[in-house]
């Protein structure tokens, strides 16, 4: 099986079940003491997911950050997500348990550039996530006309998915007005067509749940177009979409093509479902940098606050609020 080209931050030692139970209790007590809400992404470690007040994808967590009445947000995800929470809730203290929990889309830039990543949102008209990218693009055309030129970034596979879902593939003239930034998530891009071919062979009756940022998504659609895969068995879904689909089919068999942390909440939601990793190496080391001891220490010492300069936050808030409102 192909190894993914992942960046390898230092892995923390695994905790015993006794340590997990003890530290989890400390974390819950500290959260109550600090009037803190713990938000965790679906790709986080299972023990982080278990102590979170809210678990979800980046769009869902942004909405929770905007709506929470807590004084403190402990954000268990990657840095740009914590920045988004800070922009949406400037009056709250936003903590991230590890400041180095970055994102592979920024794996070649230095720390100063990473800390300045909120500036990208400040230059953007609309922010999107995989959950609502199609809805946002359709909204833009409804508001500004079907010939509105769009620069879509940073993920080229998600951009290709939007092209297909909005019918641009069949409209070359309009497609030329939809420009896609040449970027990708290293974990999703590493899930290849070969992985789909292999899992098709090994699990012929399984449904395919494929994140639209995956490198295999275009190939999967070609299989569907050629009649090699029943289109009813292939679903391009965000992580929240995967959750809803599995909950509605709790005894099904599913090949899951996204970061493998997603299998934990899916299995919790549907214990009898048969869940298969599309690629066992599809692990985001950045997400796994957030550990229980780091979360405990962050809450205990109120350290690793994420804040965005007001002049950037004020400009970035508009596209982020549009993202939260659409889809």
Q: Binning pLDDT at 50, 70 and 90, where does residue 215 land?
A: confident
- The reported pLDDT for the residue numbered 1 is 41
Is this structure's pTM higher than 0.85?
A: no
Residues 6+ apart with CB under 8 A from 235: 207, 208, 209, 210, 241, 242, 245
Residue 226 pLDDT greater than 80, yes or no: no
- The reported pLDDT for the residue numbered 223 is 64
Residues of the chain with pLDDT > 70, as a percent, come to 87
Looking up tokens 């599995």 gives 246
Burial (0-12, 13-18, 19+ Cβ within 10 Å), 275: buried
Which tens digits make up the pLDDT trace of 230-240?
677 889 999 99
Residues 6+ apart with CB under 8 A from 311: none
How far apart are alpha carbons 56 and 62 in whole angstroms?
9
Residue 29 pLDDT greater than 70, yes or no: yes
| Residue 197 DSSP SS3 | helix
Comparison of pLDDT for 177 and 106, the residue scoring more: 177
Q: Binning pLDDT at 50, 70 and 90, where does residue 225 land?
A: low
Burial (0-12, 13-18, 19+ Cβ within 10 Å), 37: buried
Q: Binning pLDDT at 50, 70 and 90, where does residue 252 land?
A: very high
How far apart are alpha carbons 162 and 132 in whole angstroms?
10
Which tens digits make up the pLDDT trace of 31-42?
999 999 999 999
- The reported pLDDT for the residue numbered 196 is 79
Cα 283–chain centre separation? 12
């Amino acid at each position: 099986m192909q190894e993914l080209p992942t960046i390898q931050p230092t892995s923390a030692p695994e905790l015993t079940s006794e340590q997990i139970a003890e530290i989890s209790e400390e974390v819950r007590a500290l959260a109550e003491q600090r009037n803190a809400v713990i938000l965790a992404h679906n790709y986080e470690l299972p023990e982080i997911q278990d102590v979170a007040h809210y678990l979800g994808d980046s769009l869902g967590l942004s909405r929770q950050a905007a709506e929470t009445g807590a004084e403190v947000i402990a954000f268990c995800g990657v840095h740009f997500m914590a920045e988004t929470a800070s922009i949406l809730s400037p009056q709250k203290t936003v903590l991230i348990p590890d400041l180095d929990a970055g994102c592979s889309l920024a794996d070649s830039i230095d720390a100063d550039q990473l800390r300045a990543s909120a500036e990208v949102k400040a230059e953007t008209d609309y922010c999107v996530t995989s959950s609502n990218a199609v809805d946002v693009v359709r909204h833009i055309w409804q508001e500004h006309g079907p010939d509105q030129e769009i620069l879509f970034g940073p993920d080229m596979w998600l951009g290709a998915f939007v092209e297909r879902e909005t019918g641009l593939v069949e409209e070359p003239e309009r497609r030329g007005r939809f420009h896609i930034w040449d970027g990708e998530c290293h974990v999703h891009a590493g899930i290849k067509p070969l992985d789909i071919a292999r899992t098709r062979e090994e699990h012929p009756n399984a449904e395919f749940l494929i994140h639209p940022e995956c490198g295999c998504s275009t190939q999967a659609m070609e299989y569907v177009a050629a009649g090699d895969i029943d289109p009813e068995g292939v679903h391009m879904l965000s992580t929240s979409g995967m959750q809803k689909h599995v909950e509605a089919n709790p005894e099904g068999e599913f090949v899951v093509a996204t970061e493998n942390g997603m299998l934990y909440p899916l299995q919790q939601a549907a214990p009898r479902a048969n869940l298969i990793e599309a690629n066992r190496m599809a692990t985001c080391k950045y997400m796994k940098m957030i550990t229980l001891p780091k979360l405990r220490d962050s809450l205990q010492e109120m350290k690793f606050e994420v804040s965005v300069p007001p002049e950037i936050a004020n400009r970035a808030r508009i596209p982020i609020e549009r993202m939260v409102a659409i889809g």
